[in-house]
Amino acid sequence: MRFKKPKPLPGKKPTAIRLPFAAEKPAEGTTVLLAEMPGPVIRGQEKHAPDICCGKCGHVLILGMSRKRISDIVIRCFACQSYNYLGDPSPN
């Protein structure tokens, strides 16, 4: 199987999303994904989904998947160890 090089889109790149984050561990019962490698923790197939990045340092956590398809999980950033919250951002 051969892959074509993606053509650059005319116009702008999708904007990257930065997640709300916290330095402390989330409450018990929360699903936490620990990023153990520098690459993205989740890779999907959605070509137009924006990159989802660590709210603190901008490290890419999720590629190719829109945020609304991922429910309440927390991802610990490989680069800065912050806990990034998906799902509904807290009101503060």
Contact residues for Zn ion, defined by CB under 5 A = 54, 56-57, 59, 77, 79-80, 82
- Looking at the Cβ atoms of 29 and 38, the one nearer to Zn ion is 38
- Looking at the Cβ atoms of 82 and 85, the one nearer to Zn ion is 82
Shortest reach from residue 55's CB to Zn ion, in Å: 8
Q: Are 21 and 54 spatial neighbours (Cβ–Cβ below 8 Å)?
A: yes
Shortest reach from residue 8's CB to Zn ion, in Å: 28
Cβ-based neighbour number of residue 83 at 10 Å: 22
CA 65 to chain CA centroid, Å, is: 8
